[in-house]
């Protein structure tokens, strides 16, 4: 078994595509329009399945926002330099909500950003 993708419901598909491609550096891999079922999809990622997991952005026609609920935590993305990634994300208009620093009770350097729909994304410093 392997993780193929994670799906997020978004309120504005193009806004989310722009965020994940222009701010987070992912590639738009494919899109799918399903007008008879009232939804559109976009898959983004740092590579394609099966080598990389993808992020599925789902826009349900006419729905502009969702309640986050209490179960969702965050996505996690490994980066070689969290501070540099935050600077690049901030310069591209992204929202850094937790500045780079050690995780509580540990030494791993992390930061958090928030996407346009309010989903949290953790950046974790990892060697390439």
Give the pLDDT confidence of 21-36 residue by residue, as tens digits. Answer: 999 999 999 999 999 9
| Alpha-carbon distance values, 28 to 54, 80, 94, 126 (Å) | 10, 22, 18, 24
What is the residue whose two structure tokens read 């987070």?
Answer: 24
Name all domains of the chain by residue range, CATH numbers in brackets. Answer: 5-60 (3.10.180.10), 75-125 (3.10.180.10)
pTM over 0.75: yes
Residue 122 annotated to the active site: yes
Would you say how long the chain is, in residues? 128
pLDDT in tens, 7-61: 999 999 999 999 999 999 999 999 999 999 999 999 999 999 889 999 999 999 9
Torsional class of 58: left (φ above 0), alpha (ψ -120 to 50), beta (otherwise)? beta
Q: If pLDDT is split at 50, 70 and 90, which confidence band does 92 have?
A: very high
Neighbours of 55 (CB within 10 A): 22
The pLDDT assigned to 128 comes to 61
| Residues ≥6 apart with Cβ < 8 Å to 16 | 8, 10, 42, 57, 59, 115, 116, 117
pLDDT in tens, 98-122: 999 999 999 999 999 999 999 999 9
Average pLDDT on 66-87 reads 94
Strands 109-114, 5-9: pairing is unpaired
Catalytic residue among 54, 56, 99, 122: 122
**Choice between 70 and 59, residue whose per-residue pLDDT is larger:** 59
């Amino acid at each position: 078994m392997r993780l193929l993708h994670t799906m997020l419901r978004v309120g504005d598909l193009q806004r989310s595509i722009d965020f994940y491609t222009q701010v987070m550096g992912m590639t738009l891999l494919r899109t799918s329009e399903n007008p008879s079922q009232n939804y559109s999809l976009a898959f983004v990622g740092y590579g394609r399945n099966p080598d990389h997991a993808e992020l599925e952005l789902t826009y349900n026609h006419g729905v502009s926002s969702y309640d986050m609920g209490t179960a969702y935590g965050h996505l996690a993305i490994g980066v070689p330099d969290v501070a540099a990634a935050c600077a690049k994300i901030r310069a591209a208009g992204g929202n850094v909500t937790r500045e780079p620093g050690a995780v509580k009770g540990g030494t791993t350097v992390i930061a958090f950003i928030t996407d346009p729909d309010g989903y949290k994304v953790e950046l974790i410093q990892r060697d390439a």
